[in-house]
């Protein structure tokens, strides 16, 4: 999820708590299950729609969305600005968190249910799903076979019209790794070649083979 302030860990937690997106007809079904709305009191002439958050909810799902809201307010310029504006207008801090969480729900629902990359004002700079996933795995020293599995699965979810853009940072990393003689980068090069091949990009593999027997033997040692 190329969404500033929502990292792989947060996205994984949300996915685990939400379950299959097919279980939700629309974004309000998610906010309803998480209880991301105020309780309402009605009695004859009284109608108070601004009570505390709904008591009946999936507590773990609500907690996951609230953590995302906290991260967005702290680390995302778009939501940080909205939060500051609401605060100036006297909106309660708890209400601000709930508003941000609801906006995040709508955005994530469109991204996941629509199987597309969703362009949002909060994302001022272009981020790339596969590049972000690779960076996460490298930072956590994930075994190459697990990286390949996750990268291949993620690559299959990217819409076709985004393939060219997603491939650009991977090609650059593949070129850098290909020029390295160390085992780690060579293993990453093998992974990137396999992922890029899914997008019909095979020229880099030909270039790698053209380097000669030394490169081939190095690849064999890392396979």
pLDDT tens digits in sequence order for the chain, 223 residues long: 456 678 778 888 999 999 999 999 999 999 999 999 888 777 877 777 677 888 888 999 999 999 999 999 998 888 999 999 999 999 989 899 999 999 999 988 988 887 767 665 655 556 688 888 888 888 888 888 888 888 888 888 888 888 888 888 888 888 888 777 776 666 787 888 888 887 777 654 444 444 444 443 444 344 4
**pLDDT given at position 166:** 85
Report the 10 Å Cβ neighbour count for 153.
10
State the pTM of this model. 0.61
The pLDDT of residue 208 is 44
Using CA atoms, how far apart are residues 140 and 153, in angstroms rounded to an integer? 19
Structure confidence at residue 113 (pLDDT): 84
Structure tokens given for 64? 């996951």
CA distances from 21 to 15, 55, 65, 109, 128 (A): 9, 24, 15, 8, 22
pLDDT of amino acid 185:
67
Q: How many helices (H) and strands (E) does the chain have?
A: 11, 2
């Amino acid at each position: 999820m190329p969404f500033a302030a929502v990292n792989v860990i947060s996205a994984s937690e949300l996915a685990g708590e939400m379950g299959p997106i097919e279980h939700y007809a629309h974004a309000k079904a998610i906010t309803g299950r998480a209880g991301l709305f105020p309780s309402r009191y009605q009695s004859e002439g009284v109608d108070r729609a601004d009570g505390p958050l709904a008591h009946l909810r999936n507590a773990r799902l609500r907690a996951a969305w609230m953590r995302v809201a906290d991260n967005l307010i702290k680390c995302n310029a778009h939501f940080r600005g909205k939060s500051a504006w609401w605060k100036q207008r006297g909106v309660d801090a708890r209400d601000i968190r709930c508003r941000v969480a609801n906006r995040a729900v709508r955005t994530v629902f469109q991204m996941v249910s629509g199987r597309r990359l969703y362009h949002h004002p909060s994302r001022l700079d272009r981020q790339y799903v596969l590049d972000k996933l690779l960076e996460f795995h490298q930072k956590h020293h994930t075994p190459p076979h697990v990286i390949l599995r996750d990268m291949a699965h993620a690559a299959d979810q990217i819409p076709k019209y985004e393939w060219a853009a997603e491939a650009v940072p991977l090609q650059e990393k593949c070129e850098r790794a290909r020029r390295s003689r160390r085992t780690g980068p060579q293993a990453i090069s093998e992974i990137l070649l396999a992922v890029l091949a899914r997008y019909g990009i095979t020229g880099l593999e030909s270039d790698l083979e053209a380097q000669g027997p030394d490169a081939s033997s190095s690849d064999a040692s890392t396979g």
